[in-house]
Structure 1
Amino acid sequence: MIVTLIVLCEIGFWVLLAAGLALRYVARKPRLGAAVLLCEPLLEVVLLVVTAVDLRNGAEPDWKHGLAAVYIGFTVALGHSTVKWVDARVAHRFAGGPPPVRPPRYGMARAAHEWRTAARWSLAAAIAIALLQAAAWYVGEEGDTGSLEMWRGTMLWVIGINLLIAGSYTLFPKREPKAPLGSGR
């Protein structure tokens, strides 16, 4: 049941996003579109409540409960930036908005971009870890929380990999290619 609800929440996220943007740009109803977009966090609240009720009703915590916590963490931390990313592209494509800003490609500007990305992903993982710990406390010492602990370890890997990527762009910044000879530069 939990996995089905996670899938439904993901589908719901994209349906609400499409509906909100369609209302904003196609129907020219920006307030109604914003209201629809603001309904997206309700999906995570529903998932959180159903997961908590499932655990409280005696379900053994397993990978599905951990996946729910991870999904919520990532949606909370990355959902807003995903909505902004899609919104910029839809505004450009269908409403005459400016072209979306591309991330920098070279130097310390790229490193700063990678650190911002790492911060968002690390926040997502930290929220997931906090939810996983809360679930473990919620179940208590009587329950087997091994699968929740496995997810916490995975989230620590996510943080570590993102910090490693950002650090590599800082220590080894990508340099802009030199113009070929005779190109007029």
Structure 2
Amino acid sequence: MIVGLIIACEIGFWVLIALGLIARYVLRRPRLGAVLLVLTPVVDLVLLLAVGVDLRTGGDATRAHAIAAIYLGFSIVYGHRMIRWADAWFAHRFADGPRPVRLYGAAYAKACWQGVVRTALAAGIAAGVLVLLIAIAAPGADTDALAATYRVLAIILGAETVWAVSYTIWPRREPARVASEA
């Protein structure tokens, strides 16, 4: 059930974004678009409540519960950024907005390090959600799957850090055709 709910929440998140952007740029209804985009955190709240209720009513913690915690942490931290990215591309495509800029060199490396900070924050929130879920689980419930997830969060943060280090040492180069157009 929890896996299906996570999938439904992810789909709901992107459906709300798509509807919000369609309302904003295609239908020319910016207020409706803003309302739909502001509703995206409600999806996270629904998932958190469902997972909490499942654990509190006696369900044993599974990897799906742990994935829900990871999803929540990353959705909270990266959700606004994903909406901004989608908004920029939608504006470019449907409202004659400027083409979003692709970063290269030191600017890209800097963005990678900002990603490390965001990922650390997301992992911290996910860890906090895990602590909360372990605390509210029914007495005697097996919460080992939740406790084992801290290691996964460390691996995610480590991978993000390796990514940033690699692009600091070997910066992304601007393609020759892009450089010649500028």
Using structure 2 for the length normalisation, give the TM-score: 0.89
Give the letter for the 1:57 counterpart.
Answer: T
- Farther-moved stretch of structure 1 (118-127 vs 83-92): 118-127
Size of the aligned set, in residue pairs, is 176
Shift of 1:141: 6.8
Structure having the higher Rg: 1
Equivalences for residues 3-82 of structure 1 within 5 A: 3-82=3-82
Give the letter for the 2:129 counterpart.
Answer: L
- Farther-moved stretch of structure 1 (139-148 vs 15-24): 139-148
Judged with a 3 Å threshold, the aligned counterparts in structure 2 of structure 1 residues 115 and 141 are, in CA distance, closer, same or farther, namely farther
Matched residue, 2:132: 134
Q: Report Cα offsets for 1:68-106 as digits up to 9, x if no partner.
A: 111111111111111111110010011011111212x11
Gaps of 5+ in 1: none
Q: Supply the RMSD in Å over aligned alpha carbons.
A: 1.9
Paired residue secondary structure (1:65): helix
In 1, the alpha carbon distance for the partners of 2:172 and 2:34 equals 40
Give the letter for the 2:144 counterpart.
Answer: G
Q: Report Cα offsets for 1:14-68 as digits up to 9, x if no partner.
A: 1111100000001101111001100110011011011111111011111111111
- The percent of aligned pairs where both chains have the same amino acid is 44
Task: Report if aligned partners of 1:73, 1:127 keep a CA contact under 8 Å in 2.
Answer: yes
Indicate yes or no: 2:138 matched with 1:161: no
Matched residue, 1:116: 114
Shift of 1:165: 1.9
Task: Report if aligned partners of 1:122, 1:162 keep a CA contact under 8 Å in 2.
Answer: no
Shift of 1:110: 2.4
Give the letter for the 1:130 counterpart.
Answer: G
Judged with a 3 Å threshold, the aligned counterparts in structure 2 of structure 1 residues 26 and 130 are, in CA distance, closer, same or farther, namely same
In 2, the alpha carbon distance for the partners of 1:58 and 1:31 equals 42
Task: Report if aligned partners of 2:69, 2:129 keep a CA contact under 8 Å in 1.
Answer: yes
Matched residue, 1:174: 171
In 2, the alpha carbon distance for the partners of 1:71 and 1:139 equals 19
Judged with a 3 Å threshold, the aligned counterparts in structure 2 of structure 1 residues 59 and 81 are, in CA distance, closer, same or farther, namely same
In 2, the alpha carbon distance for the partners of 1:90 and 1:83 equals 10
Judged with a 3 Å threshold, the aligned counterparts in structure 2 of structure 1 residues 176 and 26 are, in CA distance, closer, same or farther, namely closer
Gaps of 5+ in 2: none
Give the letter for the 1:89 counterpart.
Answer: W
In 2, the alpha carbon distance for the partners of 1:109 and 1:22 equals 31
Give the letter for the 1:88 counterpart.
Answer: A
